[in-house]
Amino acid sequence: MSENSGLRIVGISVLVVLLVAAGVAGWYGFVYQPKQQAIEKARLEKLAKEEEAKKAEEQAAKNEATYKKLIDDADIAFENGDWQSARSLYSEASSLFPSQKYPKDQLKIVNTKLDEIAELEARRAAGIVERLDSTTGRYYVIVSSSIDDDLALDYANKLASEGNAVKILEHDTGKLVYFRVAVADYASREAGEAALSKFTTYGDDVWVLGY
């Protein structure tokens, strides 16, 4: 074999090697590597979604637990007549789960109670005596009874001027009409009688009237 032939074979071999290397490099750079990158990207995206779903599930569980605790505490405050705390707790629960109807319904009741208290406080501050001439279904703590409307009103005005929430009840017994002076009222007779000890300063004749 001549020297030129040998050189030609070597040149061809080098060229083939270079072409193969270029092909491999091209396949690696344009096919294999992008494919691997796409696979890795998909894997990372899947992991991220799984992590996000896990966090969302954990947060939902925390929200459920928080909501239940808020409702439980709000219900206790409601039963105890702690209207301000009940409103705050029901509001927070409603903000956490706006679609829930229960805290919204309870808030309506609580806000009505607070409005009644505000009105009562305004009456007390102004020394206003409220008159009732029809039954209400509530139970009143009576501190004075008289068949003389003016005497009852004078005493009621005196109590009101001292900061009491006073009502005069026109009570027809069938024989006489009495004007009862009340300083508190409750939803049940039991609650009213249980509270009588708070009103001993009005004397020994304090009693509860369902009206």
Predicted confidence band at 77 (pLDDT cuts at 50, 70, 90)?
Answer: very high
Write out the residue limits of the CATH 1.25.40 domain(s) in the chain.
49-126
What does the block give as tokens for 76? 């206790």
The pLDDT value recorded for residue 4 is: 61
- The pLDDT assigned to 121 comes to 79
Q: Could you tell me the pTM of the whole model?
A: 0.49
Q: What mean pLDDT comes out for the span 1-6?
A: 61
What Å distances lie between residue 165 and 46, 127, 158, 192, CA to CA?
67, 8, 11, 15
In angstroms, rounded to a whole number, what is the distance separating the alpha carbons of residues 155 and 169?
13
CATH 3.40.1160.10 for the 128-210 domain, yes or no: no
Give tens-digit pLDDT for 141-194: 999 999 999 999 999 999 998 888 899 999 999 999 999 999 999 999 999 999
Let me know if domain 49-126 sits in CATH 1.25.40.
yes
For residues 88-105, give the mean pLDDT.
96
Residue 79: per-residue pLDDT: 93
